[in-house]
């Protein structure tokens, strides 16, 4: 499911690199950046296809609430299933472009580290060993323990970030359920659907927006904090491995979540058409549980991973000069 897209991202990066490498120093990475821009050149098509999914999803909800009949709901269900597939495809474009972008950002981090090292050497603050160059120091070698340590930590970061976001979605959903139950109990006639009785929509919107910001803050703080901790403890080599590991595992998880979320959603809709026992069957109950996991997969955690790995790369580049000069492993001579 996710092997062809990952292979495509890798092939695109390699082709762009070797096409632009003969142009001179720095042009190889420039080529990878241009490949990312090329993937986003059809941004109008991507956005319109991505918007199609929420539109038909909301159309289904409106049709059900308005009592437009089973036939209208059946048609909107089919449109929603197509929308889930369209969203998964468009997210693939975003993930691919993000993958190529963060590869270029990783090269930017290495360039910033190289500049910082050259300044330190020129000022006599560090001395290179015999045969050692700035380029050899900046190169990421998996046989170097610090690089390997950072890589393992980076591989775990997208999973940790995704778990924190999905647990946050669950906690906020519980708050919303409690509020709905409270309104049913405290607003006379709401549960019976009496005419003129309206729920407190503003309170529900407040719970959704406030909760979203509240739950996002810990995940964002952990992401930035771990990035800086790896850099200031393990040095630029550990941080380079950290970024590489997070890129590789992040792309894999983002593609998996995007496709798996849409798959679970469509599986539930398919069972509701009457197959495998239809509504109320054990298969339907299992599909509802799957869809409950699939929604934060495809709509929350999956798309957020792209932002996470980009922010980590930018933070690393911003603090590169400080990390080169001040890191625990360097001070201990490790």
Tens-place pLDDT, residues 212-249? 888 889 999 999 999 999 999 999 999 999 999 999 89
Averaged pLDDT of the chain = 85
pTM value > 0.75? yes
Of residues 283 and 95, more confidence is placed in: 283
**Under 8 Å between Cβ of 104 and 29:** yes
Measure the CA–CA gap between 237 and 324, rounded to whole angstroms: 9
CB neighbours of residue 253 within 10 Å: 20
The CA-based angle 324-250-290, given to 5 degrees, is 150
- What three-state secondary structure class fits 133? coil
**Under 8 Å between Cβ of 203 and 334:** no
Where exactly are the structural domains of the chain? 3-331
pLDDT digits (tens, 9 = 90+) for 126-155: 777 777 778 778 888 888 899 999 999 999
Q: Which of 256, 283, 258 is nearest to 272 (CA)?
A: 283
Measure the CA–CA gap between 114 and 141, rounded to whole angstroms: 16
Q: Is the pLDDT of residue 330 over 80?
A: no
Q: Is the pLDDT of residue 304 over 60?
A: yes
pLDDT band at 123 (very low <50, low <70, confident <90, very high): confident
pLDDT band at 331 (very low <50, low <70, confident <90, very high): low
């Amino acid at each position: 499911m996710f092997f062809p897209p990952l292979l495509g991202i890798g092939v695109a990066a390699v082709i762009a690199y070797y096409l632009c490498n003969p142009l001179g120093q720095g042009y190889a990475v420039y080529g990878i950046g241009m490949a990312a821009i090329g993937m986003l050149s059809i941004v109008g098509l991507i956005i319109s296809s991505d918007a199609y999914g929420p539109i038909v999803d909301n159309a289904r909800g409106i049709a059900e609430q308005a009592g437009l009949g089973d036939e209208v709901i059946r048609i909107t269900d089919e449109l929603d299933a197509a929308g889930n597939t369209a969203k998964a495809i468009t997210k693939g474009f975003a993930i691919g472009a993000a993958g190529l972008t963060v590869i270029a950002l990783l090269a930017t981090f290495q360039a910033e580290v190289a500049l910082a090292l050259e300044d330190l050497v020129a000022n006599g603050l560090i001395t290179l060993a015999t045969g050692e160059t700035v380029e050899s120091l900046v190169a990421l070698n998996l046989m170097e323990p610090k690089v390997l340590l950072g890589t393992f930590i980076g591989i775990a970061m997208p999973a940790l970030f995704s778990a924190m976001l999905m647990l946050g979605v669950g906690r906020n959903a519980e708050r919303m359920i409690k509020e709905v139950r409270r309104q049913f109990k405290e607003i006379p006639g709401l549960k019976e659907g009496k005419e003129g009785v309206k729920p407190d929509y503003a309170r529900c919107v407040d719970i959704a927006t406030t909760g979203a910001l509240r739950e996002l803050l810990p995940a964002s703080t952990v992401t930035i904090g771990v990035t800086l901790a790896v850099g200031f403890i393990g040095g630029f080599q550990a941080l380079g491995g950290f970024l590489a590991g997070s890129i590789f595992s992040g792309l894999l998880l983002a593609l998996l979540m995007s496709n798996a979320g849409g798959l679970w959603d469509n599986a539930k809709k398919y069972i509701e058409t009457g197959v495998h026992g239809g509504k109320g069957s054990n298969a339907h109950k299992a599909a509802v549980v799957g869809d409950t996991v699939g929604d934060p997969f495809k709509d929350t955690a999956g798309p957020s991973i792209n932002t996470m790995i980009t922010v980590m790369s930018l933070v690393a580049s911003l603090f590169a000069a400080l990390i080169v000069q001040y890191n625990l492993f360097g001070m201990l001579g490790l």
